Amino acid sequence: MNLIETGSHAATDRQVQLGLVWLSLVAALCWLVLLVGALTTGAGAESTTPSTGTPAPTPYGAGQLLLVTALWGGMSTAVMLPLAIRPTILVARAARWHCAPMPRLRTALFVLGHLLPCAGFTLLAALMQWTLHDAAMLDDSMAVRYPGALGLALVAAGIYQWLPAKHACLEHCRAPLPGLLADWSDDPHDALRRGVGHARTCMGSIWLLMLLPLWAGPLHPAPVAALLLLAPAEIRLAGGHWIASAGGLALLAWGTWLLFP
């Protein structure tokens, strides 16, 4: 294992890292473009019912629903791909160390497996936003109309930051090598399974953070900053578990302030 961690694979590692960084930047750029498009085209346009005077949502068209799905897909990909850089490099090194056939294909399949849970999360989040929109619970910025909903979401996310399940997933993401090498197989399709498993565990660590923009709206900078800064910090930095716990306290305080102003 130490040879895999410290082996001299600088050229290949650099190629893998640059490739994933570029993919992450493209995903982030697509996220921003789609976000601007969703807001400027009025994806959540509303009309007023003459009988009650309350806002009645205009149902999503196929194009708007596709835009919302792409918006969540760009966000989840931009968040998850940077977390896959180190595991992907380790899988590439392990494939060469084991003299496994088609090491580049294994690496590509691992990255693809890392994206499959993102696709599942994307569909779930888009379905939730569709449901909230049809229930007339979203405003013009695609945020939930009721501050208490965001408060409850923040409290839930803050409490989860302290739970053992959160820290077990976080530890797996911080030290992925044992899990990536367990029951090693030279079958290239095994890399796809490992990518799915690793991404699922990492998403289990930050899934409530990833849902915060659903309640606050994508224009609210604080939940987006909490997601884009807190998630990689607790996985990459030395005191990751302490950072996660401190972030949980901040989220809990913020949610409590919204619930009891």
Domain boundaries, the chain: 10-259
Interatomic CA distance for residues 164 and 204, integer angstroms = 12
Q: Which tokens in the block code for residue 95?
A: 């494939």
The dihedral region occupied by 168, where left means phi > 0, alpha psi between -120 and 50, and beta the remainder, is alpha
Name the 3-class secondary structure at 47. Answer: strand
Return the minimum-mean-pLDDT range out of 5-19, 187-201, 234-248. Answer: 5-19
Question: pLDDT tier at 48 (50, 70, 90 boundaries)?
Answer: very low
| Top-confidence residue, 49 or 172 | 172
139 within 8 A of 217, measured Cβ to Cβ: yes
Q: What is the pTM of this model?
A: 0.80
Question: pLDDT tier at 98 (50, 70, 90 boundaries)?
Answer: low
